Copies of this chain bind each other. A is one copy, B any other.
Amino acid sequence: MPVKSMEDLFIHTLKDIYYAEKQILKNLPKMAKQAKSPELKQAFEKHREETEGQIERLEKVFETCEVAARGVRCEAMDGILAEAKDVMEEVEDESVREAGMLAAAQTVEHYEISRYGTLIAWAQRLGMKEAQSLLQQNLDEEKRTDQLLTKIAEQSINQKAKA
């Protein structure tokens, strides 16, 4: 799709984050399975449920634009998830692996925080009020997830991990 206007750029970026969220949804059960710490496992499971809701909200945003919900490959998220996979497969020590997985999950959250921040600004610019409100709900959830992960890192995972 050629990007000629802000509306095209908005739709393109919406497709990028839609693809990213679907990839995350696919990966979170593997991460939850690998996590041994109950706090981290629970955080991944909760975020899997939230991600389902976020995908639904994105589908509503597509609807408000009268565009079919479809992703475009997001190389950034592919790269971020490839790094998460490496940590899961290559770090033997359980507590060190969990510290790495948690850090990888935070890079996922930050990519999303950045993308939603941008999409909200563009929706506002384009006068798309419903889209703006839906995207704001996703942004708020991602920020809360990032804060929860920081708390789990500080209070549990980083403390346990072998120096």
Which positions in A face B, CB cutoff 8 Å?
2-9, 13, 16, 74-80, 82-83, 87, 90-93, 96, 99-100, 103, 106-107, 109-111, 113-115, 117-118, 121-122, 125-126, 150, 153-154, 158-159, 161-163
**Closest chain B residue, CB of each to CB of A118:** B103
Partner among B3, B75, B93, B114 whose Cβ is within 8 Å of the Cβ of A96: B3
22 A-B pairs, CB-CB below 8 angstroms? A3-B91, A4-B92, A4-B93, A5-B93, A5-B162, A9-B96, A9-B99, A9-B161, A75-B79, A76-B79, A76-B80, A76-B82, A80-B111, A99-B122, A103-B118, A106-B117, A106-B118, A107-B111, A110-B113, A110-B114, A121-B154, A125-B163
Q: Are A90 and B3 in contact (CB under 8 A)?
A: yes
Which residues does chain B contribute within 8 Å of A91, judged by CB atoms? 3-4, 9
Q: Are A83 and B74 in contact (CB under 8 A)?
A: yes
Partner among B5, B110, B162 whose Cβ is within 8 Å of the Cβ of A163: B5
CB distance from A115 to the nearest CB of B (A): 7
Q: Are B125 and A159 in contact (CB under 8 A)?
A: yes
Q: Are B78 and A3 in contact (CB under 8 A)?
A: no
CB distance from A67 to the nearest CB of B (A): 16
Given contacts A5-B93, A9-B100, A16-B83, 7 further A-B contacts (CB under 8 A): A3-B96, A75-B82, A75-B83, A76-B80, A106-B114, A110-B114, A111-B111
